[in-house]
Amino acid sequence: MKILVTGANGFVGTHLCLKLLDLGHTVYGLVRTPSKMVLAHDNFIMVQGDLNLPSLTWLNYLPTDLDACIHTAGLVHNMNTDDFFKVNTLGTKFLIESLKTKFSQKLKFILVSSLAAAGPVHFGEKKDETDIDFPVSDYGRSKKQGEEMLKVHAPKEWISSIVRPPMIIGPGDAAVLDIFKMVKDGFILLPGHDAKIKEYSFVCVFDLVETITKLVESDLSLFLYSANESVVQFQQLIEEIKNQLKRKWIIYIPLPLFIIKMLAICLSFIYKFIPHQLRLTPDKIYELEAEAWTCDSSLSRTALKQNYLYDLKQTIAVTLTDYRKRKWL
């Protein structure tokens, strides 16, 4: 198959391209910054461009017999929340509109969304595909609206699917790296006094990529979650990282959420004058307040025969090995 992957040099996009190439597909990888693309393969064709224009001229570099598009590109962290909607919502719309203008054949289109589009739940609960969505952050709302763009603007002839992963952990992930660094230093800042018992679903990036490749190679049009069956508390995640780092002790430092909120506001103000890459933003506070970010991935197991191979221990192990090879830790 000839497959377009947007966000090809991102965390998920890179792993996805490698998997598709291993399976024998030809991959057209959309990147904004070619210098960041390290993937080299005879069947990988890099395409430079972005999704911020109504007319996507880079589509002219794609073959006329394109089989599928996997849309992984998106904005996750940003101080300016308007950018979430420009990239995650309008960018998705522009991509769909441009693709259906250029390609008359039936395409497979897979949108990699987020559990943030669904919103959080209470302790002991799990979101599934039948639940009503209540995103609590602008990031989540932008991803939800991106899903609506697919539902409204995709031709009926397309085989369209939406995948919602929860917390993604794996080699090359810069977001979870922050947690590893805290554990290595021995001091864990907790967002709120109940942060240790908050519940999370997770998926190893290798299992998520398996879900996506199963979708692209099937003729099913699905809306589903991709996640390990296990739910972990934040303290369990910390303790597993601690054990694998062989740290003898760690100190938990709970901070009231209002203090973290004030810090995020201050960082947002500073950003106007001194741009920085810190991930704590006012929008992220709404996600930190939630009791649980958990989901039920049963549909992926039944419809796609998905077998999630990486539990928490294995996921942390492969991630830690990669961090050490990169000298990030």
Residue ranges with strand state E in 43-91: 44-48, 68-71
Which 8-state DSSP code applies to residue 229?
S
Query: What values do phi and psi take at 108, rounded to 5?
Result: -95, 130
pLDDT in the model for residue 162: 98
The answer to whether 228 and 208 have CB atoms below 8 angstroms apart is no
pTM value > 0.75: yes
pLDDT above 90 (res 211): yes
Residue with the bigger pLDDT between 278 and 107: it is 107
Helix (H) or strand (E) holding 164: strand 159-164
The per-residue pLDDT for 90 is: 96
The DSSP bridge pattern shows strands 167-169 and 44-48 to be: unpaired
By the 8 A CB rule, do 308 and 205 touch? no
Mean pLDDT of 74-90: 91
CATH 3.40.50.720 fits 2-168+204-227+295-309, yes or no: yes
Q: State the pLDDT confidence band at 281, using cuts at 50, 70 and 90.
A: confident
- Separation between Cα atoms, residue 44 and residue 294, nearest integer Å: 35
CA distances from 302 to 297, 299, 318 (A): 9, 5, 27
